[in-house]
Structure 1
Amino acid sequence: MVADDDPGILDVMKIMLEDVGGYEVETTTDGESVLEIQHDYPDLILLDLWMSGINGSEVCKTLKNNEETKAIPVIIFSANRDVGIISKSVAADDYIAKPFQMSDLLAKVARLI
C-alpha cells in the first residue's frame, strides 16, 4: 500500500511497483484510510510523511502501537531533511528521502517483504 496526498506520485509509484517490482499495489491519498484497514492488511506500507489529515508519522506511530499491525513493515518517504530522524522516532522500518531513485525504493521494499 502507498499513501501520499499527491495523486501524481501515487500513479508513478503504483506503475513502477507493479510493472517493475511485480507487486500488487493499493493507493490512498490520506492517512485515515490506512488506519481503517482491518484484517486484510498489506504486506508493506509506504507512507508520505506530510499528508493532510493524519500525517505519515502519526499513522506509523498508531500502526506500530497496535498489536495487530505492529509487524507490518513501514517505509516513510519525504522531502523533509529530517526524514531519517522522524522515521526512527516513530519506529518506521525504513525511510527514503525524496527525490529518490526507483531502484533504491524497490530494493528497500524487496528487503522488507
Structure 2
Amino acid sequence: MKKIFIADDDAAIVDATSLMLELMGYNVAFTLNGSAILEEIKPIPDLLILDIWLSGIDGRDICRQLKADPVTKNIPILMISASREIKTSAMDSGADDFMAKPFEMQLLLQKIESLIST
C-alpha cells in the first residue's frame, strides 16, 4: 500500500483529500502544523502533498530542505497553493509538480499516479 503524506493547514482540504485517497487504497498520514513536517514525515512516504502557505513556515523552504537531504531527496513532492501565480517558484524550490487550489479530485489522482509510478 502506497503511503501519501499531506501537509496543509486547511483541515477541510486535509479531511476531504485524506478520505478520498483512503477510499482509493492509499495509506494517508497528515499534519496541519507546517513546522512539524520534517519530524512527522517518517517513515518516508511514497508522495508528499505540500501546501506552500503553511502556518509558521513556507512550503517552498520545506521542499528545498527535503530535496537537499539524501534520505528524502527522492520523495515526489506535489505542491499545492491557492495562488495560481506561484507555480514557478514552487517548481524552482524542487517540487515535482504543482496544483492550484481548489482542485478537482480526478486531476489530483492523475497527478499522484503519475508521480508515484515514475
Consecutive unaligned residues of structure 2, counting only runs of 5 or more, are: none
Q: Are positions 1:14 and 2:9 aligned together?
A: no
In the comparison of the two structures, how many residue pairs are matched?
112
CA RMSD of aligned residues (A): 1.3
Task: Determine if contact 1:83/1:95 at 8 Å carries over to the other structure.
Answer: no
What amino acid sits opposite 1:77 in the alignment?
I
Q: What percentage of residue pairs aligned between the two structures are identical?
A: 44
**CA distance in 1 between partners of 2:75 and 2:34 (Å):** 15
* Structure 1 moving runs of 4+ over 3 Å: none
> Deviations along 1:39-77, whole A, 9 cap, x unmatched?
511111000110111221111111011111010000000
Larger helix percent:
2
Q: Are positions 1:70 and 2:43 aligned together?
A: no
Consecutive unaligned residues of structure 1, counting only runs of 5 or more, are: none
1:24 deviation in Å? 0.6
Larger strand percent:
2
Task: Determine if contact 1:77/1:83 at 8 Å carries over to the other structure.
Answer: no
**Secondary structure of residue in 2 paired with 1:82:** helix
